[in-house]
Every structure is written in structure tokens, then in C-alpha cells.
Amino acid sequence: MNTYIFNSERLGFRNWKADDVDLLFKLNSNQEVMRYFPSAHTKEQCAEFIGRMQNQFEKNKFCYFAVDLLETEEFIGFIGISEQTYEIDFNPSVDIGWRVLPKYWGKGYATEGGRACLHYGFETIQLEKIISVAPSTNIPSITVMKKIGMEKVKTFNHPLLTDFPKIEECVLFEITKN
């Protein structure tokens, strides 16, 4: 049985386990899931991500959480908040993000999970502001940002995506505690 840090109505949010590598690889190697990213990820990259998230959780009590359906304990992807430090005028920041397996798309999980993570970030962690970034072409993520109450701040060219012109132009959304 998984131990959850917090729950929403249908989802459980937990820290990562070493044996989640195969689950994350299934998500991060899916071409449809990764269409708004530079490339799919290798198993090694997935293991590194899990290590970074575990360390971030130890340090801050938040990360991009592994997310399971409460009813079945099936892994659906990740939803959470994470430190961002790449060089740009709005960093350092805390970013909210999500990545869900296609079989769970269209069921409202990213929106439900995003709302739960905002609540956790503002009420438990006591953050003042949370941002979100996505390529301008990633309409599904932008729709979730709007549904969870975030507002668009600007469009910008992402400094880590200069070699990927199809996804380099990004939008910045934010929400504050009040």
C-alpha cells in the first residue's frame, strides 16, 4: 500500500521510489506525451529525475510528485511543484507541472491534481507565488493552467529550448497565494 503525502478526491500524491523507474520510463518514452519536449527520456534520465525529485522533497517537502489513482493505486504520471533555477528574469521560482499517461487524458486528473498541488504549496509549504511554463503550442497544458486559476504573464523564448524552434516560444503563467 502506498503512503500518500496528500490526496485529492481521486488522486494520491507521493514521493518517488527507486522502483518507479519503469513506470516513469513508460511515461517519458511515450512520443505523444513528450511531443512538447525536446525528446523522449532514457531509463537513465528517468532514474536521474527520480533522484532529483527525492532530493528536492527531502530539502523542501515538495517536488513533482508521483501520482496514483486512489481507487486502484495505478500510477498515472506526475503532478507537482518544483524549484526552477535556469537563467531567466523570473527565476528562481517554484513551478507547477504535470505529465500524465494518455490512457488517463480527458478525465480531469491534471486539473484536479493541479488544484491540490496549489493548495499544498500555498497552505502547507506557505509559498507566496507559483508559476507555470509551457510551449505556446501546448494548448492542453495552457488550458489546465487557466482552469486552476493561473493568469498569463507573458510570452518568451525559453533559454533551454533555443535548439528546438517548434517549442522555444513559451508562455509564463502565475498565481499568488491570495
Q: What is the pLDDT of residues 43-92, one digit of tens each?
A: 999 999 999 999 999 999 999 999 999 999 999 999 999 999 999 999 99
Position 94 in a domain: yes
Q: Return mean pLDDT, the chain.
A: 96
| pLDDT over threshold 70, residue 1 | no
CATH number of the CATH domain containing 35? 3.40.630.30
In a domain, 154, yes or no: yes
**Residue 1 domain-assigned (yes or no):** no
pLDDT tens digits, residue range 132-141? 999 999 999 9
Cell of 61: 517537502
Provide the percentage of residues in the chain whose pLDDT is more than 70: 99
SS3 content of the chain, % helix, strand, coil (to 5): 35, 30, 35
- pLDDT band with cut points at 50, 70 and 90 for residue 103: very high
Q: Within a domain: residue 131?
A: yes
DSSP code string of 111-134? HHHHHHHHHIIIIIS--SEEEEEE
Does residue 2 surpass a pLDDT of 90? no
* pLDDT tens column, 9-40: 999 999 999 999 999 999 999 999 999 999 99
Q: Is 165 inside a domain boundary?
A: yes
Q: Three-state SS for 66?
A: strand
**What's the length of the chain?**
178
The band of 171, judged by pLDDT with boundaries at 50, 70 and 90, is very high
- Give the range of the structural domain holding residue 91, as residue numbers without chain letter: 6-176
Number of domains in the chain: 1
In a domain, 111, yes or no: yes
pTM equals 0.95
Contact 58, 85 (CB under 8 A): no
Inside any domain, residue 20: yes
